Amino acid sequence: MAEATTSMVDLLAQYPGARRALFARYHIGGCSSCAYKDEETLGEVCERNEIDVNEAIAHVLQSHEVDKAMLISPSEVKSLLDDGRDFVFLDTRTREEHEAVTIAGSEFMTQERQQELFGKAKEDDVIVLYDHTGGRVLDTCAWFQGHGLKGTRGMLGGIDAWSKEVDKAIPRYRLEMD
């Protein structure tokens, strides 16, 4: 549960869309002038920005409910594939990740493919996006929905969850950051 004493890093781990929600409503966390440190608490960030912390918590929780509606489980995606359903299955990871490990039936999302979908897809067309662990797919999903593609869903847990829950033959991996 989000509280005033919750650190921002913990808040973002528990509510992945919180960064987007706080930025959209309060312009917090989107750039260097409104940034926060991971170890700061939500209460400290709200106090510095003259925002009622209880209002911010309510907004994060409400946004989280909206975010959950944008998600689809790996087993639901497998059912779509198994049933031969017509949908677009896009890998939003880097090209290197896609070339190393791919879910059969998915395609790499290029800028050209994204623009094609924005221009030609129908509002209710099913589009499923996935990333590595599900940490960034909500933002991409919100981007697609914001462009009118309301049938877009993000795969919960990304390819990592797919590997654990659907196809153990898909190798799991960890990204090494400098």
Pair of tokens at residue 99: 């070339």
Element (H, E) at 130: strand 127-130
Minimum mean pLDDT range among 87-91, 133-137, 144-148, 149-153: 133-137
Question: What mean pLDDT comes out for the span 133-144?
Answer: 91
How many Å is the maximal CA-CA distance in the chain?
52
pLDDT tens column, 88-98: 999 999 999 99
Query: Which CATH number among 3.20.20.70, 3.40.50.720, 3.40.250.10, 3.40.50.1000 corresponds to the domain 71-165?
Result: 3.40.250.10
Please, where are the H alpha helices in the chain?
A: 8-14, 18-26, 42-48, 53-69, 74-82, 95-100, 111-120, 137-146, 158-165
Domain ranges of the chain: 8-67, 71-165
**Does residue 29 or residue 170 have the better pLDDT?**
170
pLDDT tens column, 86-128: 999 999 999 999 999 999 999 999 999 999 999 999 999 999 9
- Give the list of residues 6+ apart from residue 11 with CB closer than 8 angstroms, or none: 2, 18, 42, 60
Distance CA 130, CA 136 (A): 9
If pLDDT is split at 50, 70 and 90, which confidence band does 164 have?
very high
pLDDT tens column, 48-61: 999 999 999 999 99
pTM over 0.75: yes
Whether the CB-CB separation of 8 and 43 falls below 8 Å is answered with no
- Give the list of residues 6+ apart from residue 80 with CB closer than 8 angstroms, or none: 87, 126, 128
If pLDDT is split at 50, 70 and 90, which confidence band does 174 have?
confident
If pLDDT is split at 50, 70 and 90, which confidence band does 178 have?
very low
